[in-house]
Amino acid sequence: MTNKILITGISGFIGRNVLRQLLQSYDSITAIIRPGTKPERIEEFVNKVEFVEIDLTDIPALKKYLDENSFEIIIHIGAVRGGRKLSKSDYFDANVNATEQLIINAKDNDSKFIFCSSVGVFGAIPLELPANNLTQRQEDNYYHFTKIRAEVIIQKYVLYGLKAAIIRPSITYGTNDYGFPFTLTKLIDKKLLFLPDQDVTIHLANINVITQSFIRLVEIDYQPGISYNVADSHSVELHKLADFINNELKEKPYSSKKYIDIKYFRKGEKIADFFKSELWKARFQLISRHWFFDVENSYIDLSLKKTDTIPNFKIVTDWYKDLKSK
């Protein structure tokens, strides 16, 4: 096929996997990458896509490029993620102003616009469970604020004809990603992870489910402004996941000695609040509070393959074991 596609964020975990799938069916793809991107992060795509070096915080450069180019489909995955030591101005430019520039280009050229948001728009811990499209948004950190703001701008332009769809991935797991799922596995392996003595339900997303959702939106007609929370078919109890991980690594359940009174996690949150550490507060919350999402319409509308965290989390434990053996 010869659809002209513009994609951002290909050096990241989700963007890289989406681009791999796109390349199986499309041959006219342009990728915006940050100047100075390490070659190893994009080397698999050399000679397969056209690279354009623009930092998403450089709004004049992005605007100039978009004024001179048009595309049939824009897939906007690139963003400055939470926890980075950047100014609020950089966050806002990369996550909001750059998004608006891409939106304007899509609207002016009657292009599809597929945006990667985050379930973080509901806050690290949603106020309603399962969180759904109507759940109250929470600006509990600046990254979440920028994603909320970007979604508001998208919906405004939808009123004027923008053909947009929003995907909100949950925390995603797969190979070659060193985020929360990898850290969880590593801490369990080293017996360093303490868990609350009360069970907690969490909701992860297999990278293949996330990738499927983007590809389906490329392929189908959708209602402009539609939003999808995307995660595995069902949530999972953290205790069961910890046992699964330890069984895969050591052929036995995780030690019950690592379960401690949940009040210590609440104290940890308060200490993180005192020191204004959004990162540490989120770490305490993610393993001591419930967070899960209504994903039913995603599986129905996008015909996603049913995927459960157990046993599919095995792709992470197998990769982790392979890393350790090297």
Residue 1: per-residue pLDDT = 43
Q: Count other C-beta atoms under 10 Å from residue 268's C-beta.
A: 17
Which residues, listed in sequence order, are joined to residue 114 by a DSSP beta bridge? Answer: 75, 165
What confidence tens digit (pLDDT) does each residue in 10-30 have?
A: 999 999 999 999 999 998 999
Q: With bands split at pLDDT 50, 70 and 90, how would you rate the model's confidence at 130?
A: very high
Measured in whole angstroms, how far is the alpha carbon of residue 241 from the centre of its chain? Answer: 20
SS3 281: helix
- What does the alpha-carbon distance between residue 92 and residue 99 come to, in Å, rounded to a whole number? 10
Provide, for the chain, the percentages of residues in helix, strand and coil under a 3-state DSSP scheme, each rounded to the nearest 5.
45, 15, 40
Residue 276: per-residue pLDDT = 87
Mean pLDDT computed over 312-322: 98
Percentage, residues of the chain above pLDDT 90? 95
SS3 221: coil
SS3 224: coil
Residue-range domains of the chain with CATH:
4-174+204-233 (3.40.50.720)
Model-level pTM?
0.96
- Give Cα separations from 40 to 44, 76, 179, 183, 318 (angstroms): 8, 22, 19, 22, 22
Residue 326: per-residue pLDDT = 82
Which residues, listed in sequence order, are joined to residue 227 by a DSSP beta bridge? Answer: 166
Residue 2: per-residue pLDDT = 43
What confidence tens digit (pLDDT) does each residue in 51-109 have?
A: 999 999 999 999 999 999 999 999 999 999 866 678 999 999 999 999 999 999 999 99
Instruction: Check pLDDT > 60 for residue 175.
Output: yes
What confidence tens digit (pLDDT) does each residue in 194-207 have?
A: 999 999 999 999 99
What confidence tens digit (pLDDT) does each residue in 265-284 have?
A: 999 999 999 998 888 999 99
Residue 85: per-residue pLDDT = 75
Nearest 5°: phi and psi at 53?
-90, 105
Q: With bands split at pLDDT 50, 70 and 90, how would you rate the model's confidence at 181?
A: very high
- Give Cα separations from 84 to 29, 58, 81, 90, 278 (angstroms): 29, 17, 6, 10, 11
Q: Which of 237, 165, 253, 249 is nearest to 204 (CA)?
A: 237
Q: Count other C-beta atoms under 10 Å from residue 50's C-beta.
A: 12
What confidence tens digit (pLDDT) does each residue in 215-237 have?
A: 999 999 999 999 999 999 999 99
Q: What is the mean pLDDT of the chain?
A: 96
Residue 82: per-residue pLDDT = 66
- What does the alpha-carbon distance between residue 78 and residue 33 come to, in Å, rounded to a whole number? 9
SS3 210: helix
- Which residue type sits at 208? N
Measured in whole angstroms, how far is the alpha carbon of residue 32 from the centre of its chain? Answer: 18
Burial class (CB in 10 A: 0-12, 13-18, 19+), 202: buried
Structure tokens at 14: 């989700």
